[in-house]
Structure 1
């Protein structure tokens, strides 16, 4: 079945918002972070890839900070605590 979805464009910036775009063998999450907002520390049960669609974020993992900007991606391993802070209004996908 074919389906066009506007979730990415329609999801606004109000602190932290998370939407599941799909589930199955690979789960895709859409995260929106308002400038200065944080996605609190957590772990992923699976290896993951983060893709920034717009904005800029600081990704904190293992006492390191990675600045990830629009159209960049970042891979990280499962079961390591991490958290994210928005440098500006940002949207990114997590594929795991």
Structure 2
């Protein structure tokens, strides 16, 4: 499967997500988030990697704050508490291993 121009998928309005790939072990989602929107801390449902397509985010992983922006990659493990705030209108790709 080939998907082109991921940066153009989803309009930026609050928080939107769309699954772009899935099989029995793995899924990828594209997420758009509007500047100023915060996602409160929650446990990660799976091991995951996040790639920022555009924008800038403040990412909180178990109280450790990280600034991530366009072309940055960040990973975290199942169960880790994580949350984020959009510092700019942003889009990112999140890929995760599905629980068995």
Q: TM-score range by the shorter chain?
A: 0.7 to 0.9
Which 5+ residue runs of structure 1 have no aligned equivalent? none
Deviation at 1:83, TM superposition (A): 0.8
Q: Which residue of 1 aligns with 2:55?
A: 55
Whether the 8 Å CA contact 1:30–1:91 is kept in 2: the answer is: yes
TM-score under structure 1 normalisation? 0.87
Number of residues of Structure 1 aligned to a counterpart in Structure 2: 95
TM-score scaled to structure 2, two decimals?
0.84
Cα drift, residue 5 of structure 1: 5.7
5+ residue gaps, structure 2, are: none
Aligned partner of residue 36 in structure 1, secondary structure: coil
Q: Deviations over 1:2-42 (max 9, x none)?
A: 55466641311111111111111211011101000123332
Q: Which residue of structure 2 aligns with residue 91 of structure 1? A: 91
Q: Tell me how far apart the structure 2 counterparts of residues 76 and 21 of structure 1 sit (CA, whole Å).
A: 20
Structure 1 segments of 4 or more deviating over 3 A?
A: 2-8
Q: 2:7 touches 2:54 (CA, 8 Å); kept in 1? A: no
Counterpart CA distance in 1 for 2:51 and 2:38 is 17
Check conservation: 1:49, 1:95, Cα contact below 8 A: yes
Measured in 2, the distance between the counterparts of 1:4 and 1:80 equals 30
Structure in which a larger fraction of residues adopt strand: 2
